[in-house]
Chain A
Amino acid sequence: MSKKRNKQIHIKWGEFFNIYKGLKLPWLIFGIMIFFGFAYGWAVVKQAGLEQGFMSGGVLTTDVIVQYLIISLASMLIMFMQQYVRDGLCVEHINREMRKKLWGNLIRMPIKYYDKETPEALVSRITRDCEKANSLIVEIVGWIAQLATLVMALSALFGYSNKLLMLTGLAIIAVVIYGLAISKVSYWANYMMQTYMSPFTMYLAQRLKAFELIKASGTEDEEFERGQRVINDMYKADIASRIELGVIATYVNLTSIANTVIVYIGGSIMMAKGILDAGVLVAYYSLASTAMNEIMMYFQAYVNIKGSQGGLAKVVRIIDAESEDVDSGEHIDIPDDDIAFEGVDFAYPDGANVLNNVSFTIPKGKTTAIVGSNGEGKTTVLKLLERYYDPGEGRVMFGGRNANEFSKREWRQMFGYTSQDSQILSGTVRDNITYGLKRYVSEEELDSIAEKANLKELIHSLPDGYDTFIDDGGSNFSSGELQRLNIARTIAKNPEYMLLDESTCNLDPDTEIEVQGALEKMMKGRTIVIIAHSYNAIKGADNVIVLEGGTVTCQGTQKEVEERNGFFREFVDSSAI
């Protein structure tokens, strides 16, 4: 078990608190929680005093009864408010603030952070892990509030019977030792959960997405078996967490029983000897129960914090991710110019070098085609052009200056990127075309944009026109229509530089012609960088850059490259059988 524990994620307390930096914490509510801690301690002591009075055979006057009822009601209310403020207001408030902060960080991280995790994992950062992470601060404030109650109850105990106090002291030591033991059980249960829970959900998510593949492969039986295995593992983890719950429940019960046994047995012996009276015993019992209870809750809180470390560590990674600084850097005040790669090396975080010492020039106002086999880094070049990543070595130059000097926001504003897969957000056609535009777009302008994207007729034939809702994933539009919507968005952005990434690859010929037509209209008068895997799409290109083995083997006008480069000749030939 100890070996397993070492694998758990441990983070430093400094990092713990870092995540709350800059968060709007509900200090007022914290203050109220601590105030309630004191108030509760006061009420408990007061109540015990009254109990002592009337249980010692004192007179039960109406005055005493009223006082006792009032103080009981008060401590009930305080108890209620204390828990309500904590679970009902404080936790949710911090969750909201933390979610806002996490979302802000997520959306501003550089792209390389997104590559590391699946969208599902990032979703659970904001939903589940975030809640776990927040339990920490609430527990800590809870500690302070409880400490107030505990100190007041303990110090009141000193006034009663020192012999009983010694016995209670022994019980407290037992509670502490048992509490430490419980935290070990919790480690183990949490470890089991962390180990088996995520493979379980991952397995389910993966298989359910690839249903057709499973059916076509006839692997239902194998998947059934495999599913049984992950379900069995999940069972082990569930049992572990049940054991944990059981141990905690016995802890709660044993604490209260230990208290009762010690106080009443010890107390009755002392009463028999005539050194203790019934009132003191009752009052002592009330106070000791409160004190033991508070100590027990300390350990439960401790266990909770330990359990939240995993979630916390994941949240810390996002909070710590430097957010992409899109605004700093210089204003781009030079007109369109050539863009040049100078000795650029690039590797993705987990892979081999994709680009090696790549140098080329993209002349302004011309169409430049990048050709090369699959996986030679063509798409990477476009991503570097957009500055989604920084080159490892070398520079991207613009108008004789390093591209890094300019603000990323303005830089990306110059580029329109149409990628292999259409990126469609849920919303209306209008939302999708005008996405990212910070100005009002009139109906006429929309029409002229749609016209250029060969979409006008289609949109006008829809009952709701531009306000037609696009279903999740665009399922109510064909792939060609979605591509043209993407193109329309790029036209609306009106960029100086156009990056086209195998834009027409998955389309049938009719659709390809429609899309190609839209593209040609859009390309006029701009600087174009295009990647395509068939020669037809790049026939009109002025310049060609050939990427082979992650490096530029040839560049120049189409004619020059065709004369000098074997790969490009083959590329042209294979497209013209």
Chain B
Amino acid sequence: MYKARVEAQKVMCAGNIAFNVIMGYIPNVILMLLGASLIGKGQLSFGDWVMFFMYTSRMTASISVVIFEWADIKGTQGAIMRVSGIMMNPSEFDETYPEKGAHEGDIELRDLQFSYGTKEIFENLTMTIKEGKKTVLVGGSGSGKTTLLKLLERFYDVGDGQILFNGKDINTYDIAATRKAISYISQDAPMLGDTVREAVTYGVGRTVTDEEIVQALEAASAWDFVQKMPAGIDSSIGDYGCRLSGGQRQKIALTRGLLRNSRYVLLDESTSSMDACSALNVQKAIDNYIQGRTCIMISNNVSIVMEADEVIVLKDGGVEAVGDHESLLRDSATYREFCSQGRECQL
């Protein structure tokens, strides 16, 4: 870094200084000598010379300004290119969407194809997620579980095929309405805000009373530790919640999900960093909460998977099997393997 800078600095610096010095000196020297000679010969009065001297110094100053402005303009071109790169990106909210109805009903995925660049995730995915039921997605790493949740959130456009809410293509709905209908708790439990209160009410979109917050914290087993914090729900959680442990972050993220109170709930490994006892309690709270809502979960915890209304096994870019715990134990080799490896399973 130093070497590169010194080289650049040396050239720029030398150029600038040389320019300033020359502009400041040369006219003076010329005027002095010329003036002395003309005054000596009686061709110029001292007063005229002073005037000329003053004008010249103003003029050289103006010329310097013009030249530096020009250099400045040259320098901005790169920045303008980068800024216009962002300006040209489309906004998600530019389009108008014909479908005004609310999101409800089953979610259907039809012949879905999706890839990140050249890395294909789904080749041909068809499934139905039933309204009001708890569906769990199971599959090895890279089978596209998280990607599926992101597609429902419309973070990406599907390649081929369709996602349907109540028989209507997801792309015909207003994108903001889709996301409002969904609570998505992603695996890394992201959070914004300086305090517990700000983090749990982020994006809730309504005023929430203290009682409601405490209630939701209790439901997510978070009240125990929040209560012990120096300022209760107004305690600082640090940047991105960095003062919290992994399990605590997940509990806060869940609390936010509970307060959002939406029709569809997407949970990606929401209890993975919690100790076994907390995870169990939190799972009970989740089950309570999702009564009557549509819930799609990703979990590696067999005891959680067992309780699902429906389990969908993803494999090789498609659906390998669908069913409940018992039927899948019979029908799906992948699922049997999943259960036998699972740490919290007793068969």
Contact = CB atoms under 8 A, between A and B. Distances in A.
A216 B46 contact: no
A509 B190 contact: no
Interface stretch (B68-76, B206-214, B266-274, B315-323): B266-274
Nearest to A570: B277
Nearest to B5: A92
Interface in A51-101: 51, 54-55, 57, 59-60, 65, 68-69, 72, 75-76, 79-80, 83-84, 87-88, 92, 95-96, 99
B5 to A, nearest CB: 6
B338 A375 contact: no
B208 to A, nearest CB: 14
Given A207-B192, A373-B278, A575-B344, A68 B29 contact: yes
B29 A216 contact: no
Contact of A217 (B21, B39, B202): B202
A209 B22 CA distance: 49
A23 to B, nearest CB: 14
A533 interface: yes
A510 B138 CA distance: 12
B272 A505 contact: yes
Contacts of A218: 176, 179-180, 203, 205
A216 B245 contact: no
Contacts of A278: 39, 46
A243 B190 CA distance: 41
Contacts of A207: 192
A76 B10 contact: no
A83 B32 contact: no
A54 B279 CA distance: 95
A537 B343 CA distance: 8
Interface in B295-347: 300, 303, 338, 341-344, 346
A422 interface: no
Interface in B97-138: none
Given A217-B179, A375-B245, A535 B276 contact: yes
Nearest to A88: B13
Given A68-B29, A509-B343, A536-B343, A84 B277 contact: no
Contacts of A352: 228, 230
Given A80-B21, A88-B9, A215-B155, A509 B245 contact: no
B256 to A, nearest CB: 8
A563 interface: no
B314 to A, nearest CB: 12
Contacts of A502: 246, 273
Interface string A102-119: 000000000000000010
A574 B275 CA distance: 10
Nearest to A504: B343
A571 interface: yes
Contact of A51 (B1, B24, B32): B32
A372 B22 contact: no
Contact of A210 (B18, B192, B248): B192
Interface in A447-476: none
Nearest to A286: B28
- The dominant DSSP class at the A interface is helix
A374 B191 CA distance: 18
B203 A577 contact: no
Contact of B300 (A217, A222, A478, A508): A508
Contacts of B205: 218-219
Given A65-B33, A209-B240, A509 B21 contact: no
Contacts of A570: 277
B40 A59 contact: yes
A31 B46 CA distance: 42
A227 to B, nearest CB: 13
Contacts of B2: 92, 95-96, 99
B276 A206 contact: no
Interface string A299-311: 0000000000000
Interface residues on A, range: 35 or more
B54 interface: yes
Interface string A209-227: 1101111111110100000
A83 B140 contact: no
B52 interface: no
B247 A375 contact: yes
A260 interface: yes
Nearest to B3: A96
A356 interface: no
Interface in B74-112: 92-93
A206 B240 contact: yes
Q: Of residues B47, B251, B260, B277, which shows the largest number of chain A Cβ atoms within 10 Å of its Cβ?
A: B277
Interface string A480-518: 100000000000000000000010011111111100000
A575 B228 contact: no
Contacts of B47: 268
A505 B188 CA distance: 13
B343 A534 contact: yes
Interface string B9-20: 110011001100
Contact of A88 (B14, B28, B186, B279): B14
Contacts of A571: 275-277
B275 A372 contact: yes
Given A76-B21, A215-B155, A510 B142 contact: no
Contact of A533 (B155, B180, B228, B279): B279
Nearest to A213: B190
Nearest to A478: B141
B13 A84 contact: yes
Given A68-B32, A577-B303, A379 B245 contact: yes
28 contacts: A55-B35, A57-B40, A60-B36, A79-B17, A80-B14, A80-B17, A84-B17, A88-B10, A92-B6, A206-B192, A213-B203, A216-B153, A216-B184, A218-B180, A271-B46, A278-B39, A278-B46, A373-B224, A374-B278, A505-B246, A505-B273, A506-B272, A508-B140, A509-B341, A509-B343, A534-B276, A574-B279, A577-B346
Given A213-B192, A577-B303, 14 more contacts: A69-B29, A76-B22, A80-B18, A210-B192, A212-B155, A213-B186, A215-B155, A217-B203, A218-B180, A505-B273, A506-B272, A534-B276, A571-B277, A574-B276
Interface of B: 1-2, 5-6, 9-10, 13-14, 17-18, 21-22, 24-25, 28-29, 32-33, 35-37, 39-40, 46-47, 50, 54, 92-93, 140-142, 150, 153, 155, 176, 179-180, 182-184, 186-187, 190-192, 202-203, 205, 224-225, 228, 230, 239-240, 242-248, 251, 260, 269, 272-280, 300, 303, 338, 341-344, 346
Q: Which 10 A-B pairs have the closest CB atoms?
A: A217-B203, A374-B247, A533-B275, A509-B341, A88-B13, A54-B36, A536-B343, A96-B2, A219-B203, A216-B184
